[in-house]
Chains A and B, each alone.
Chain A
Amino acid sequence: MKNIQIELKNVHKAFGNKKVLNGVDLAIQKGESVVIIGGSGTGKSVTLKCILGLLKPDKGNITFNGQQIGMLFQGAALFDSLSVWENVSFAVLQQPGMTRAKAKKIAIEKLAEVGLKPEVADAYPADLSGGMKKRVGLARAIATKPDTLFFDEPTTGLDPIMSDVINDLIVNSVKKLGATALTITHDMTSAKKIADRIAMLYEGKIIWVGTVKELEKTDNPYVRQFVAGSSKGPIHMEVKAEG
């Protein structure tokens, strides 16, 4: 299994009495694009934050064999105080011997790769629309040519057309870099477009893993209910306020 880029073994994470991850097992091969699907509050973001080292698991092992990562956050997480090009070239600017002029040139190239004009480079995040912020976030994620890309709900809050544009950009960026990609989403259209394999997270565990074709044929009732977007089935959404 030397081709594994990311591996999670029996990962547990709880916040107080609330168990969020309850033994997550998942292996992602080099160059593969895996999408984790699951309802809100099932631990998708916590899984991602554990892999990134932003949260420490209570139990279990996470192996990461990558060198450089790029991450597109749900709200883009652009730095308000920096211009668009400074955001895109943030990591590039930290490299020894890098000048601001050279970094700006790289930023403009990356912005072009995500379909943004050079004029955007000097704007500030507050001046951009949601879709443009996501594109800038993607440009920042790919700026250092990472071998592993993470996407946190990349299409949330976007209209269907812009969602499709972002999905295409993600697919193209991953292919161009030859990177391993891990995406978390509950947008099935996005998942089917981006993924080589899809994993479903439910009650803190990966309950199903398969390809997009296998997803359409599976008889797993949890997956079928989630893909159909039906309220009837084994998954019961908690609608009562915690008290």
Chain B
Amino acid sequence: MSKRELHFGLMFWAGGTHPSGWRYPSSHAGAAFDIEFLQRVTQLVEAAKFDFLFLGDRLASDPSLQTTNPSQMSRLEPFVSGASLAAATSHIGIVVTANPTYYDPYNLARMFASLDHLSQGRASWNLVTGADEIAAGNFSRQAHWDTERRYDWADEFVAVVRGLWDSDAITPLHHKGRYFEVAGPLNVKRPPQGHPVILHAGTSDRSRELGARDADVIFAGQATIESAKAYYADVKSRAGKYGRADSEIAILPGLTPVVAETTQQAVAIYDHLNSFIALEPDGDGGEASRYGSLGRMGKRRNLTAVSAAIGVDVSGQNRDAPVDPIVLAEANEDGRRLFADVTRLTRRDVKGPDRLTYRDLIIGHISTGAIVVGDAKEVADHIQHWFDERAADGFNIFPPYVPESVEAFTGLVVPELQRRGLYRTDYSGSTFRDHLGLAKPGPILSNATSL
């Protein structure tokens, strides 16, 4: 058995995954529609031998997203950007997000088969079922489907798509199921990878089941190593039920690295990014708007919300003042975890020369997902720890600001991981399946011909 090695993807929200990433001085605020820029960043991670480039998507837009998720307001359609990125690269996997709830299996099977041919075996489907309620309004739906309905539909949808990839004139599909009737065959030849790589993310029971059965890569959102380990073990054991080996599924949690030559510089960048976040007045500690609640910063950006979370009333405090140590002493468990997180990220504490502020608590409270701030060694240590502990097989890297955070990660952290022998120094093959060490699947249909 070959040695386990790290896998990396780039979660490519072009304006950066930090809500204010586009405001960072070197960021390209118009990145989302600048295909040459997207290609340059993709080439950057391809040079760093990343497994894939991940194109996220949302099927609706609203101006109110600009304060919470500006990157998610609008972007190029991912098959269009994916095919354009394929034309400018040669090895990196290209992950296109597509939601079966709002697609048709024949069309989607054709699109992925086409992208796989055009990219010569680098296409991948990030299968999402869509928690985005407002998308229904763009697709002639009366209402947003509930989770059960979406997953029932998705389960059959994936089976149809796989069947179409394997179909040919001798064995057309003739599918007749609960939701779909598809004659087939697909009129695009079987994809070079057989089946393009399938990604899935999610924490619900249905989602874990779908991932364990159908996904080659699972993209998880656990913020702590404990929850990530539990998720990792759960999904791999579920996969066993479907006769799949541990090595057949790569679990790649999201990770936001803020890295620089020195720890001090990294903390300064982290603070700089967060300085753009507009805080809200105290008073309302409830949920933020429903648009915001889908992504980062669903929580209120004020001390009322912090107070509710930590169990100590700090509302009305001067946000730039150092936090009174008594607050930490009186905080509940969540509160103590919040303080520890803020200290881990900012290196500031309630005592010592560098004090954390009330503002730091607000920022820490609204932050989601795993973040690591530090120099190359510190970030590499974090990655290695999660990898060794089997909390992760690698990471989907969230670039908080683009392109500089990508340059910092590929320029500083990647060489460190390569020195440690944890990460490839070159691609061993040319397809996305090759990078993941996955064989090309044989056709499901017994007498179908393959390429």
Is chain B found bound to chain A in the same assembly? Answer: no
Listed in ascending order, the chain B residues whose CB lies under 8 Å from chain A are none
Question: Residues of A with Cβ closer than 8 Å to B?
Answer: none
